[in-house]
Amino acid sequence: MADGLGAPLAAPLFERLALIGLGLIGASIARVAKRKRLVGHIVAADSSEEVRKRAAELGLADSIAKSAAAAVDGADLVILCVPVGAIGAVAEEIAPHLRKGAIVSDVGSVKSAVAAAFAKYLPAGVHALPAHPVAGTEQSGPEAGFATLFCNRWCILTPPDGADPKAVARLSEFWTAAGANVEIMSAAHHDLVLAITSHVPHLIAYNIVGTAADLETVTRSEVIKFSAGGFRDFTRIAASDPTMWRDVFLNNKEAVLEMLGRFSEDLTALQRMIRNGDAQGLFDLFTRTRAIRRGIIAEGQETAAPDFGRRTGEEQDRS
């Protein structure tokens, strides 16, 4: 296939996949699992009746369950695709209904909090394997999902100590077949890395867009009219789902505060360079940062297109 996903598998990797939460990520997993025949049957659940209805219309799953508990019945792979703050409650709800030997995973953007919730609620006899596909857009909901979302993106697995290597290998195989590159690290390290690469940048975007919105000397229409000068790219990030991002900051507090401290120190240094007219200092920093952008493009994690190469899910899947 021309979309980079490759041919469907000859035999499914799992018999029955239960997806809890059918927003951007859940719907994207459903689409790629179907397209690549990664599993024998997809059953999905979502707390929103509207989402369940829309998912049925879009044909995202083979069956739609009324509750998470009903969905996991008999599933050998369960993936929680709900906001991080909802993972504990869902884990508690599904715990008595899980099949022995099932792999229970998630896609949450924070991993230590998920590991703690899994350890608290999931029974012995299932494989609790938190994961985070580092892929997304600022869109939410079942329509936003597309099969190629994970193509050439990283999926980080954070298996707890003592996790069964065979279960880790099976989950890695699932994500690899979905187009992702798999990396394994500890939950704590994941949270630190993502704090600087994702969480703090989102916070900065939320802050700068909020500051612009509150300015008294520059009108809101001027902010929108002249937004091409860098501000526009921040507004894309600042349009990300409020529930998801509230939960990220509440659940990765320490790592975010640590990175924010470093960021504030560097910002103060920049402030000083501007005040002191330190032309060389500014030029050197901007040269180093430009090289990082070029490195990201060279690794295929971004395109050089000025629109950041991002199109809607439907457009991506059609091309």
Question: What is the contact surface with ligand NAP in residues (CB under 6 A)?
Answer: 20-26, 45-48, 51, 68, 81-84, 86, 89-90, 107-109, 132-133, 136-137, 140-141, 241, 244
**Mutual angle of helices 187-194 and 112-121, in 10-degree steps:** 150
Nearest residue (CB) to ligand NAP, 227 versus 243? 243
CA 242 to chain centroid, in Å, comes to 14
**Do the Cβ atoms of 75 and 94 come closer than 8 Å?**
no
Nearest to 155 by CA among 125, 180, 138: 180
Min CB(87)–ligand NAP separation in Å: 7
Nearest residue (CB) to ligand NAP, 159 versus 313? 313
Nearest residue (CB) to ligand NAP, 89 versus 285? 89
Residue 200's alpha-carbon distances to 255, 287, 289, 313, in angstroms, are: 10, 22, 16, 25
CA 44 to chain centroid, in Å, comes to 19
By three-state DSSP, how is residue 318 classified?
A: helix
Min CB(178)–ligand NAP separation in Å: 13
By three-state DSSP, how is residue 78 classified?
A: strand
Min CB(34)–ligand NAP separation in Å: 17
Min CB(140)–ligand NAP separation in Å: 3
Min CB(229)–ligand NAP separation in Å: 25
What token pair was written down for 297? 């493009």
Nearest residue (CB) to ligand NAP, 236 versus 273? 236
DSSP letters spanning 103-158: EEEE--S-SHHHHHHHHHHSPTTSEEE-EEEE---S--SGGG--TTTTTT-EEEE-
Min CB(291)–ligand NAP separation in Å: 26
CA–CA dist 152, 171 (Å, integer): 17
What token pair was written down for 114? 């998920």
Helix H segments across the chain?
24-35, 49-58, 68-72, 87-94, 112-121, 165-177, 187-194, 200-214, 220-225, 231-238, 242-251, 253-276, 279-298, 313-318
Nearest residue (CB) to ligand NAP, 30 versus 38? 30
What token pair was written down for 267? 């910002």
Min CB(288)–ligand NAP separation in Å: 27
Nearest residue (CB) to ligand NAP, 73 versus 278? 73
Nearest residue (CB) to ligand NAP, 27 versus 224? 27
Nearest residue (CB) to ligand NAP, 238 versus 244? 244
Min CB(67)–ligand NAP separation in Å: 8
